[in-house]
Amino acid sequence: MDMVDLPRAALIDALGRRISYLRISVTDRCDLRCRYCMAERMTFLPRDQLLTLEEIALLADLFIARGVRKIRLTGGEPLVRRDIIDLVRRIGRHVGEGLDELTLTTNGTRLADHADALFDAGVRRINVSLDSLNPDRFAHITRRGNIQPVMDGLAAARAAGLAVKINMVALKGVNEDEILPMLRWCGDQGFDLTLIETMPLGETGEDRTDHYLPLTEVAKQLRKHVELTPIAHRTGGPSRYHAVEGMAARLGLITPLSNNFCADCNRMRMTCEGKIFMCLGHDDHVDLKSAFRTGGVAAVEPLIDRALRLKPARHDFRIGAGAPPAAVQRHMSVTGG
């Protein structure tokens, strides 16, 4: 029997939080340059520094053996990685046999080409980042994007049987006037919507303070038009959901700045070069790649245990007077959204 098949110790951090959710960034590259996420000119990792897809799959096996029940593949943009569907199939074989769910976050630009294959490989639900329905505004936010391939991808996802949740970063002075129309559009399309506060990760060339929009204020404004009722629905992440009167769509709120949600954090993140970050808002990490390549699973397990001991109580995201431009220097695309 392979060592990964043997019973393992559960992933429990020093504060007693059980880690059941692993987010895996398969690449730091992206075909867009969203203003809140990346700089216009990015330097990406050399491809030879990335974990191979087989290495990612083997490390995923280990985390599943230790109690991870949900894996999300992220980037950058995961669908730009060559042969990504091979990895989805490899991890997807665990769904129903140790893994409750395999999901994916994408910008949707290549979704039309992959929606059927994702469903066939075991994915049943995806998140699609979409911050505007206006083509010109979409191009402004993404610095280069064409919205039509995203719309084609969403249509393909629905046709393939994938449940879709739209992720929209709420940006003051940029797209705040589109939040209610986006919610209504999602209701018409049969999509859920999650709103996200902008987070100070990496220098992007933009002033996040100018665009920070507290979701407490957004919810207050939405309630002037629709009734929002908190519900117990969870998808494993930090989003807190509300039923929306008259709509099938659920509204999720992710509030790292206005309402810290770290007390029940159940997540770790693995980057495309094999670094485990215990928190999106901290630089502390452990590097699995060299240990895995020289000593296999046996060499990696103590590093995972070290990561559990180092996992902080909470992040320290701040925006405003006296706060640094970025809580950490790495961009969101490095760690995975």
Phi-psi region of 94 (alpha: psi -120 to 50; beta: other; left: phi over 0): alpha
What's the length of the chain?
A: 337
Q: Which residue has the tokens 């216009």?
A: 40
Phi-psi region of 161 (alpha: psi -120 to 50; beta: other; left: phi over 0): left
Cα 200 to its chain centre, rounded Å, is 15
105 is known to lie in a ligand binding site:
yes
267 is known to lie in a ligand binding site:
yes
333 is known to lie in a ligand binding site:
no
Q: What angle do CA 79, 11, 312 make, to 5 degrees?
A: 85
Of the candidates 259, 254, 257, the residue with the CA atom closest to the CA atom of residue 234: 254
37 is known to lie in a ligand binding site:
yes
41 is known to lie in a ligand binding site:
no
272 is known to lie in a ligand binding site:
no
Give CA–CA dist 141/331, Å, rounded: 16
Q: How many CB atoms lie within 10 A of CB 260?
A: 13
184 is known to lie in a ligand binding site:
no
306 is known to lie in a ligand binding site:
no
279 is known to lie in a ligand binding site:
yes
23 is known to lie in a ligand binding site:
yes
129 is known to lie in a ligand binding site:
yes
Give CA–CA dist 13/312, Å, rounded: 9
Annotated binding site: 23, 30, 34, 36-37, 72, 76, 105, 129, 165, 199, 262, 265, 267-269, 279
Annotated binding site for S-adenosyl-L-methionine: 36, 76, 129, 199
Annotated binding site for GTP: 23, 72, 105, 165, 267-269
Annotated binding site for [4Fe-4S] cluster: 30, 34, 37, 262, 265, 279
